[in-house]
Amino acid sequence: MIIRRAEVLGMCMGVRRAEALAREAGAAGIASGKKVFTYGPLIHNPQAIESLRKYGVQVLDTEQFEHGLFDELARNSIVIIRAHGAPLSTFERLKALSATIIDATCPRVLASQKKAVQLLQAGYIVIIAGDASHGEVASILGHAPGALVAENPESARQLANSIKTSKAALIAQTTIKESEYQAIEAALKEKFPSLLVIQTICPATRDRQEALRKLAETVDALVIAGGKNSANTRRLYMAALESGKPAWHIEKPEELPDEVFNKEVVGLTAGASTPDFIVDEVEKYLMQGAKKYGTAE
Ligand code: SF4
């Protein structure tokens, strides 16, 4: 068996940076005796969260925190703001609790927050194309109160009908699919022909999708490593299935079926929230399995 990795795979710049900051914060917590939390799960990957827990980093439930349920726990602690960012009110509450804030908001998300504020100040109605329940969208709304969210073309049309002004601007959740963004843009343009469309989609997802498509042409099967609750990993899996090759989405190597060891060339990729150690573990498991089944190269 030959194992071929995608040219671009695994953690994106923003998540990698947030993870490194969380590990540093974990060490600082041990040294100072302070509790260390991430504001919501840092990464959509259970193994990565477990690994951070070993560094003393726990997860604060964002909703419960916003309802004041963790005030005593968070007081004087160290809190890492994840790559999605957080609303301004969260920063203020943490400061009021004398927490040390480590801001790991991805620079791309920071740019979206800033852009939304600038557009509102310039008199635009700002519409964010994305998932209203996603942490990044919540963080942009929390910096640019008054912005609106369109999750799909239908909700975009409904929103457009309720807006009285013609000065509207559209920005994207960084991880939205380009085709979904274009569909929302088209729906809004029915009402706002001069809609100002800002390009805020992060290339990380597209780069991984592109690399997967190229990889699929050269392999017999595909393995996609990453959290089952990671949207971008699930999209990679969908793209893998669309390639027509057998594909498996796994969180742990042991989830792979024995069938994979009969394949001559296996492609390996991972979502933008999958840590390197998991990719390495999957590769090692494939190599060991191939040796056991006598299909190793
Ligand atoms: S996907 Fe892009 S925007 Fe989101 S955290 Fe990663 S680098 Fe930042």
Average pLDDT over residues 66-93: 94
Return the percentage of the chain with pLDDT > 70, whole number.
Answer: 100
**Strand positions, DSSP E, the chain:** 2-5, 36-39, 57-60, 78-81, 100-103, 125-129, 148-150, 168-172, 196-197, 221-225, 247-250, 265-270
Q: What is the pLDDT of residue 205?
A: 87
Of 180, 197, 214, the last residue of a domain is 197
Q: How far apart are CA 91 and CA 75, in angstroms?
A: 13
| 297 within a domain of the structure (yes/no) | no
Rg, C-alpha atoms of the chain: 21
Is residue 70 located within the same domain as residue 117? no
- Reduced to 3 states (helix: H, G, I; strand: E, B; else coil), residue 80 is strand
| 31 within a domain of the structure (yes/no) | yes
Counted domains in the chain: 3
Say which CATH number the domain at 272 has.
Answer: 3.40.1010.20
Amino acid at 78: I
- pLDDT confidence of 101, banded at 50, 70, 90? very high
Is residue 35 located within the same domain as residue 75? yes
| 116 within a domain of the structure (yes/no) | yes
Q: What is the pLDDT of residue 232?
A: 84
Is residue 285 located within the same domain as residue 226? yes
- Ligand 1 centre to CA of 246 (Å) is 28
Is residue 246 located within the same domain as residue 180? no
* Residue 136 falls in the annotated catalytic set: yes
Backbone angles phi, psi at 124, to 5 degrees: -85, 150
Is 42 within 8 Å of 82 (Cβ atoms)?
A: yes
Whether the model pTM is above 0.75: yes
Pocket test for ligand 1, best of 112, 177, 202 (most atoms within 8 A of CB): 202
Amino acid at 75: R
| 117 within a domain of the structure (yes/no) | yes
Is residue 17 located within the same domain as residue 101? yes
Q: Count other Cβ atoms within 10 Å, centred on residue 258.
A: 9
- pLDDT confidence of 177, banded at 50, 70, 90? confident
Return the percentage of the chain with pLDDT > 90, whole number.
Answer: 86
Is residue 215 located within the same domain as residue 288? yes
- Reduced to 3 states (helix: H, G, I; strand: E, B; else coil), residue 123 is coil
Contact residues of ligand 1, CB 6 A cut-off: 12-15, 83, 106, 108-109, 174-175, 202, 204, 272
- pLDDT confidence of 175, banded at 50, 70, 90? confident
- pLDDT confidence of 294, banded at 50, 70, 90? confident
Active-site residue, selected from the candidate residues 136, 151, 185, 251 = 136
Is residue 212 located within the same domain as residue 184? no
| 85 within a domain of the structure (yes/no) | yes
| 160 within a domain of the structure (yes/no) | yes
- Ligand 1 centre to CA of 287 (Å) is 31
Q: What is the pLDDT of residue 54?
A: 92
Q: How far apart are CA 282 and CA 253, in angstroms?
A: 5
Q: 51 lies in which domain range?
A: 13-105
Q: What is the DSSP string of 66-126?
A: HTTTTHHHHTT-EEEE-TT---HHHHHHHHHTTPEEEE---HHHHHHHHHHHHHHHTTPEE
Is residue 70 located within the same domain as residue 27? yes
Of 153, 180, 197, the last residue of a domain is 197
- Ligand 1 centre to CA of 284 (Å) is 28
Query: How does the average pLDDT of the chain come out, rounded?
Result: 95
- pLDDT confidence of 274, banded at 50, 70, 90? very high
276's tokens: 């390197």
User: Which residue, chain included where needed, has tokens 């190599």?
Assistant: 287
Residue nearest (by alpha carbon) to ligand 1 atom 2: 202
Is residue 209 located within the same domain as residue 277? yes
Of 61, 88, 105, the last residue of a domain is 105
Q: For 270, what's the count of Cα atoms within 13 Å in the CB-facing half-sphere?
A: 26
